[in-house]
Structure 1
Amino acid sequence: MTTTDTLPGRVLVIEDEADLQEAIVTYLNMEGFVADGVSSLKMATQWLRTHQFDVLVLDLGLPDGDGLKWLSECVQLRDKGVIITTARGEGNQRIEGIRAGADVYLVKPIQLEELSSLVSNLLRRTRSNASPRWTLSRMNWTLQSPSGVGFKLTHSESVLMHKMAHHAGQAVSRQDLVLSLGHDPAVYDFRRMEILVRRLRNKAKDTLGSDLPIETVHRIGYAFTAPITIV
């Protein structure tokens, strides 16, 4: 059984100092996480449109805005683990960071081993508090909602869902989805993909009375944007 609990923790590192960003991202990836780095709040906002994550590592000294203000206003950060790394070490600034939603406040220079341990701790916490999840059965070709109501999938729908479920929270390109269906993207009519996704959404709406959490990612493909277990 594959669940989002057994997948590597996803970490977003927002750090404008290139060498430090590279060091953090490289170390966390070596420790078994899936880490990505961006160097500004604008880039972070764009990244969040197509990715899910578990833990945020945020530098406050960024070139394009107030990291604390962004932290307090960003809805995608709710229920996520947040580690602030900054040169600002005064007591009142630590308090501001905690109030803005940070779990940990690290003053630079930071120890990468300590950071990795903190990410692990926050990952356990965020996953233990995770919301109910969808369930995809490879054996029975069924998709079940968190409420326990399920419906049958066709072979193509099952393959499509399996591909997206393995990358839950991330945009999967149309080309990769086509390849998973056993077709050649060079000659495939992508309107067939749109019909397949629309049919799947309609089936979920008719059965569950609610929308299926499949998001269309402009110019890229599709993303399943909810916790899901594959059994």
Structure 2
Amino acid sequence: MSNFNPLHGRIMVIEDEVDLMEAMVTYLNMEGFAADGVSSLKMATQWMRTHQFDVAVIDLGLPDGDGMVWLKDNPLLQNKGVIITTARGESSQRIEGIKAGADVYLVKPIQLEELASLAHNLMRRIRAQTTPSWVLHRMNWMLHHPSGMALKLTHSEFMFMQVMAEQTGQAVARQALVTRLGHDPQTYDFRRLEILVRRLRNKAKQLLGSDLPLETVHKIGYAFTAPIGLA
């Protein structure tokens, strides 16, 4: 059973030692994060282009390049938290890592409990610095992206997003969503809700050029994990 808490955020772990990567991902998931692992810089770049995330945990010695070089001036990591995990423990290398954009520099072997605690602290700092960016307008059923672009919603999409906005960062049960949509959960075909969510995600991707920060919470429902305001 997943312990995912949307407020804890999503983490990408880049580590080529498979056992260590799996241990890190498993522990972070147990701590309430949504964590995914990749084993190369190429895989990391591909993953970041298709996923919303908050923090990257980066090993420096990777099979297809130096994580330090990759980290510098990487546009996909702008406004993200960065934790370096590496065997390079010299003070000059630590300084180089911080200058490259790392928030935390950990020298292996790392303690998983320490990694999770640092990730929690980093997420709190990131969220504290974040101002409401998405805006849902009640009058015209428009969802505004942080860039200023807007998405016209259908009535059902608006009702769905209104619940998400009212309970930002919380997992909303499918039954509660169906009730707000005006249906009886006892007789409703929940595949219709899945179709609505899929269409909304696809619409946002096509018209806004961005993924909705809308997470599927296993066995519960959905959560909108970015700040959003109602207007």
TM (normalized to structure 2)?
0.67
> What residue number does 1:180 align with?
193
Deviation at 1:63, TM superposition (A): 0.4
Aligned letter for 1:213?
Answer: L
State the match for 2:35 in structure 1.
35
Given that residues 31 and 116 in structure 1 are in contact (C-alpha distance below 8 angstroms), is that contact kept between their aligned partners in structure 2? Answer: yes
Task: From the superposition, tell whether residues 26 and 163 of structure 1 become closer, same or farther in structure 2 (CA, over 3 Å).
Answer: farther
| Structure 2 CA distance for partners of 1:42 and 1:163, relative to 1, 3 Å | farther
In structure 1, the partner of 2:154 is 154
Q: Bigger shift: 94-103 or 156-165?
A: 156-165
2:115 equivalent to 1:127? no
Evaluate the alpha carbon distance shift between residue 228 and residue 99 of structure 1 in structure 2; reply closer, same or farther with a 3 A threshold: same
Q: Tell me what 2:183 maps to.
A: none
Show CA shifts across 1:38-81 (max 9, x none): 00000000000111111111000100011011101311212211
Change (3 A) 1:108 1:158: same
Query: Aligned AA for 1:224?
Result: L
Q: Name the aligned partner's letter for residue 41 of structure 1.
A: L
* Structure 1 pair 75–160 and aligned structure 2 pair: CA distance change class (3 A): farther
- Unpaired runs of 5+ residues, structure 2, are 170-190, 214-224
1:18 aligns with 2:14: no
Q: CA RMSD in A?
A: 4.1
CA distance in 2, matches of 1:105, 1:150: 39
Q: Deviations over 1:127-172 (max 9, x none)?
A: 1122441133689955356699989742254268679989x9xxxx
Q: CA offsets per residue over residues 181-201 of structure 1, 9 Å max, x none? A: 758x9xxxxxxx69x949x98
Task: Report the 3-state secondary structure (helix = DSSP H, G, I; strand = E; otherwise coil) of the residue aligned with 1:11.
Answer: strand
TM-score under structure 1 length normalisation: 0.67
Query: How many pairs were matched up?
Result: 191
Distance 2:149 2:22 in 1: 44
Identity score, percent: 61
Deviations 1:11-58 (A, max 9, x none): 100000000000000000000011000000000000001111111110
Alignment check: 8 A CA contact 2:9 2:123 kept: yes
